Amino acid sequence: MRINMMIALAFVTGCSDTYNTYVTNYYETDTDMTDSDIVDSDAPDTDVIDFDTDVNDCQFMVDVIDNGVSGQAILGNEVHPSLSSSSPSGSAIPGRSELLRFNVSVPSSSCSDISLQYFEVWVNVTDNANTDWFFDMGTTGYDLYNLTLDGTSRVSRHDADQSTTFSYFISFQGADILIPAGSTSTFAVYADTTGASSSQDDSIRLDLGARSMFVSDGTKRVQLDNDVVTGGTLVY
C-alpha cells in the first residue's frame, strides 16, 4: 500500500534594505549647491524636490496564493526552491538517515533578505510487508538541518504523536532561519526509518509541497505559488 504524509515546517525572521534614489531638478549653477538650490525659478516653493527622498528599488512580482486563489504580489527579492543535486535516492539501509536535501535561493544581492516562515514536506511511503513501520517515524521525530551554516547544527525538530492514519502533518516552529540576499541555503530533513522491510523493498520519498511555502521580506508575508519539488525515492 502507498501512504501519504505531510510535514509542515515553520520559521520566523527577516529584514529588508531600502536604497536612496536622489531626484534632482532645476539646479542653479553655483558650485556649492545645497538642498535649497533645487528650485525651479518659475515655480512656487511647493515644487521644491526633497534631495533625500527614499525609494525602494527592490520590487519583484511573484506568483502567490491569496485565500486559495492564484495571484501576484510584490516582494523584496526572488525566492527559488529546488532539489539539491546531492539529495539522497536509490538503495538505502533502514535507520536514522537523511531523506531529503533541498536549496532555497534568494538571488538579488542588493535587495531584501528572505525568511522562511512555513513550508510543507510530503512524505510518500510504501509498506509492502504490512508492518506499519512508518508509524514510529512520528514518535522518533523529524529533524531539519541548515547545511549552509555548519552542516551539523539542527535548526528545528518536531516530536510527533504516533501516527495511526495514512495522512498527517507535523509543524515545526520557533526556528530562526534567514536566507541572506544574494545567497543560496541548503537544508536537509532527517528521520528514523527503522522497521522498513528490506526483503519487501519498502520505500520512502519526501517532496517539497506545491503552493505551500510562506516567506517574508521583513515587511510582507506571502504564500508562494511554487511548484512541487520532487525528492529522490529511497528503497530498502
Convert the pLDDT of each residue in 188-231 to its tens digit.
999 999 999 999 999 999 998 888 888 999 999 999 999 999 99
Cβ(34)–Cβ(48) below 8 Å:
no
Section 81-90 average pLDDT = 97
Give the pLDDT confidence score for residue 196 in this predicted structure. 93
Q: Which has the higher per-residue pLDDT, 230 or 177? A: 230
CA angle 21, 24, 26 (to 5 degrees): 170
Least confident piece of the model among 31-35, 143-147, 166-170: 31-35
Q: Which has the higher per-residue pLDDT, 101 or 122? A: 101
**Which residues have C-beta within 8 Å of that of residue 200, sequence separation ≥ 6?**
128, 129
Section 65-85 average pLDDT = 95
Give the pLDDT confidence score for residue 176 in this predicted structure. 64
Give the pLDDT confidence score for residue 109 in this predicted structure. 95
Amino acid at 179: I
Residue with cell 506568483: 63
Q: Where are the domains of the chain?
A: 2-17+59-235, 23-55
Closest CA to 122 of 236, 233, 218: 233
In terms of C-beta density within 10 A (0-12 exposed, 13-18 middle, 19 or more buried), how is residue 196 classed?
A: buried
User: Looking at the predicted structure, is the pLDDT value of residue 23 above 90?
Assistant: no
User: Looking at the predicted structure, is the pLDDT value of residue 45 above 90?
Assistant: no
Least confident piece of the model among 42-51, 71-80, 183-192: 42-51
pTM: 0.75
Cβ(186)–Cβ(147) below 8 Å:
yes
Q: Do β-strands 96-106 and 54-55 pair in parallel, antiparallel, or remain unpaired?
A: unpaired
Give the pLDDT confidence score for residue 62 in this predicted structure. 95
